[in-house]
């Protein structure tokens, strides 16, 4: 067998697990590790700021199955903590690789730079947002530790942490003893009982519906869920977090469900179902439209996730989600009678009169829907960039990315870099507010560096527009940038400013035809927002504002 070092084994193993691109920012503790990464088969994209590294690796993982973020000790790793927290919250499998001090430094308790409190401070903090961690202090055990962490990341679809001391990464590694761990198994009695109850409920129901959520995608179970829907002719809704989990032109698809934030037809169908089947669902406040409680009747609900199986008020322990779905697909249930109430209405083209009118949020998404290229990937930031896009329809599965549960501003621009690396043949549209763009938007420099060609739409409503509709105040103001001059700063792509419907239509049409990066500053009135965002902020305002609570 080839003699491996710690560094060569780490990146060869990641490559064999499917990783083709890693994201990072070097630092002195991590430089030896970066040298091994550069020598590996994995492409490296260095970025401008560690939070962007995390978001890019997260987006890559959502599309490609496993992401890698490489940073230096503490000043890099702790700077990237928020995006990895996002990945943990939304079940995205990202491997964090951090440089670190040497074993001798740790032995003598040296006051080395970047150290915070103890040498284990960074690792202990990351334990809160990862499912497995390892500090590779011994090359004799490093291979087994690497495999252990990455296996847990893949198994649980959540981040893991590997710290590599700078003087360990070059040492010869002892090849691991391959261990055969028994695969987890379902409790067969519980599985059979659950399938019996579920199949009986579906057979008796008049209006069953499946809500296909994000865990299906994370664990490659979407095809099973879709097969169940097609076999029994049951309609499928997605959520904000799982939007585009199946093709949104599928005849069984009825829209995005998020309680009052939903499209009316979808909300009515889901909330009046007599057999609601929640598959891989996150029952968060986003799911319930930011109300404290949702309107779903538990007695009529089947909830199946990687962590629990609940049928009505009955719980079935130790039943694997995959086993449940495979068993359900094999049940003998007469297909249901279903006529899709959702009619995808062709968007009405702009009239000449409308082309001269000022832009507003609703018009922005209408025009984007009219001009977006086929099979595009849409990456949305928090705010109207996300909630206004609920009605957009993507023809391919997994072509809509957002952090719709964790809702961290600054996600979209670096996530677009990761999405392009994972899916280079799909044209990427990045939708981001002006406030979020000022956080991570200069990853357009990374786009220039690697000749990436996204279409970046900055919805400029002059500040933190979402917050204004909840509680307004001068704290929602930001400094105004000349976004249309960004091209002059990075010397790449094209940047323009539009404030009429006609100008937006013209530039989006042009951008879709040209193989070039576009940065489009779309001027939206300061007090305007899309109808879904208006409903959301009305709900949140009643919760957050003490005067309204009274």
Question: What's the chain's average pLDDT?
Answer: 93
CA dihedral 295, 300, 305, 310 (to 10 degrees): 120
Closest CA to 413 of 48, 119, 151, 115: 48
Residue 7's pLDDT is what?
A: 97
Question: 334-339 — which CB contacts under 8 Å span 24+ positions?
Answer: 334/203, 335/231, 335/232, 335/233, 336/202, 336/205, 336/208, 336/232, 336/233, 336/234, 337/233, 338/233, 338/234, 338/235, 338/252
Residue 392's pLDDT is what?
A: 81
**With bands split at pLDDT 50, 70 and 90, how would you rate the model's confidence at 390?**
confident
Closest CA to 153 of 284, 73, 65, 220: 65
Residue 291's pLDDT is what?
A: 61
Q: How far apart are CA 475 and CA 471, in angstroms?
A: 10
Q: How far apart are CA 429 and CA 522, in angstroms?
A: 14
Mean pLDDT (whole number) for 521-543: 88
Pairing type for strands 133-135 and 301-304 reads unpaired
Q: Please give the structure tokens belonging to residue 350.
A: 């702009």
Walk across the sheet containing 518-523 and list its strands: 400-402, 377-380, 428-433, 455-460, 518-523, 494-498
Residue 292's pLDDT is what?
A: 47
Higher pLDDT: 277 or 288? It is 277
Instruction: Note the pLDDT tens digit of each residue in 16-65.
Output: 999 999 999 999 999 999 999 999 999 999 999 999 999 999 999 999 99
Per cent of the chain over pLDDT 70 is 97
Closest CA to 253 of 374, 376, 397, 63: 397
Position 137 pLDDT exceeds 50: yes
**With bands split at pLDDT 50, 70 and 90, how would you rate the model's confidence at 431?**
very high
Residue 397's pLDDT is what?
A: 63
368 close to 509: Cβ distance less than 8 angstroms: no
What is the 8-class DSSP label of residue 405?
T
Q: Please give the structure tokens belonging to residue 179.
A: 């261990």
Position 343 pLDDT exceeds 80: no
Mean pLDDT (whole number) for 133-152: 96
Residue 344's pLDDT is what?
A: 62
Position 531 pLDDT exceeds 90: no
**With bands split at pLDDT 50, 70 and 90, how would you rate the model's confidence at 535?**
confident
115 Ramachandran zone, left/alpha/beta (phi>0; psi -120 to 50): beta
Higher pLDDT: 336 or 248? It is 336
Query: Rounded to a whole number, what is the largest CA-CA distance in the chain?
Result: 76
Mean pLDDT (whole number) for 173-185: 84
Mean pLDDT (whole number) for 214-221: 93
3-state SS class at 160: strand
For each of the domains in the chain, give its residue range(s) and CATH number, in order of start: 6-165 (3.40.50.970), 188-329 (3.40.50.1220), 352-547 (3.40.50.970)
Mean pLDDT (whole number) for 493-499: 98
Instruction: Note the pLDDT tens digit of each residue in 292-342.
Output: 456 788 999 999 999 999 999 999 999 999 999 999 999 999 999 988 877
Mean pLDDT (whole number) for 268-275: 94
Q: How far apart are CA 316 and CA 310, in angstroms?
A: 6
State phi, psi for 479 to the nearest 5 degrees.
-70, 140
């Amino acid at each position: 067998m080839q003699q491996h070092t710690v560094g060569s084994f780490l990146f060869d193993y990641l490559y064999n697990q499917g990783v083709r691109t890693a994201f990072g920012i070097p630092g002195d503790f991590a430089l030896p590790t970066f040298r091994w990464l550069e020598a590996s088969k994995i492409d490296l994209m260095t970025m401008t700021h560690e939070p962007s590294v995390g978001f890019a690796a997260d987006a890559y993982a959502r599309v490609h199955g496993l992401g890698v973020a490489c940073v230096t000790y503490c000043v890099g790793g702790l700077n990237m903590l928020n995006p990895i927290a996002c990945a943990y919250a939304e079940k995205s499998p990202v491997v964090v690789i951090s440089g670190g001090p040497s074993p001798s430094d740790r032995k003598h308790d040296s006051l080395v730079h970047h150290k915070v409190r103890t040498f284990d401070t960074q690792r202990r903090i990351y334990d809160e947002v990862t499912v497995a961690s390892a500090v590779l202090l011994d090359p004799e055990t490093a291979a087994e530790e690497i495999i252990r962490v990455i296996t847990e990341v893949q198994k649980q679809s959540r981040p893991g942490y590997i710290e590599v001391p700078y003087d360990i990464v070059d040492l010869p590694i002892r090849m691991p003893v391959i261990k055969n761990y028994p695969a987890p198994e379902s409790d067969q009695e519980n599985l059979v009982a659950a399938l019996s109850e579920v199949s009986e409920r579906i057979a008796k129901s008049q209006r069953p519906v499946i809500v296909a959520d994000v865990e299906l995608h994370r664990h490659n179970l979407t095809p099973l869920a879709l097969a169940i829907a097609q076999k029994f002719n049951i309609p499928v809704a997605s959520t904000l977090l799982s939007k585009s989990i199946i093709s949104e032109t599928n005849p069984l698809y009825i829209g995005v469900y998020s309680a009052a934030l939903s499209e009316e037809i979808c909300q009515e169908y889901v909330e009046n179902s007599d057999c609601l089947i929640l598959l891989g669902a996150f029952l968060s406040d986003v799911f319930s439209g930011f109300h404290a409680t949702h309107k779903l009747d538990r007695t009529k609900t089947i909830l199946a996730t990687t962590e629990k199986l609940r049928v009505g008020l009955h719980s079935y322990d130790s039943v694997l989600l995959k086993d449940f779905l495979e068993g359900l697909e094999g049940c003998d249930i007469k297909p249901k009678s279903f006529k899709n109430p959702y009619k995808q209405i062709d968007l009405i083209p702009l009239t000449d009169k409308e082309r001269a009118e000022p832009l507003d949020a609703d018009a922005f998404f209408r025009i984007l829907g009219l001009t977006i290229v086929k099979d595009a990937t849409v990456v949305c930031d928090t705010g109207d960039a996300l909630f206004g896009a609920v009605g957009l329809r993507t023809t391919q599965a997994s072509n809509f990315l957002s952090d719709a549960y964790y809702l961290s501003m600054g996600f979209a621009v670096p996530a677009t870099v990761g999405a392009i690396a994972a899916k280079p043949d799909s044209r990427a549209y990045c939708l981001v507010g002006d406030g979020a763009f000022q956080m991570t938007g200069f990853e357009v420099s990374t786009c220039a560096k690697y000749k990436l060609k996204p279409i970046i739409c900055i919805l400029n409503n002059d500040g933190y527009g979402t917050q204004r509709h909840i509680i307004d105040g001068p704290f929602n103001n930001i400094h105004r940038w000349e976004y249309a001059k960004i091209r002059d700063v990075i010397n790449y792509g094209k940047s323009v400013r539009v404030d009429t419907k006609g100008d937006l239509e013209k530039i989006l049409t042009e951008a879709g035809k040209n193989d070039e990066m576009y940065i489009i500053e779309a001027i939206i009135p300061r007090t305007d927002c899309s109808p879904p965002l208006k409903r959301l902020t009305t709900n949140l305002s009643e919760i957050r504002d003490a005067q309204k609570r009274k």
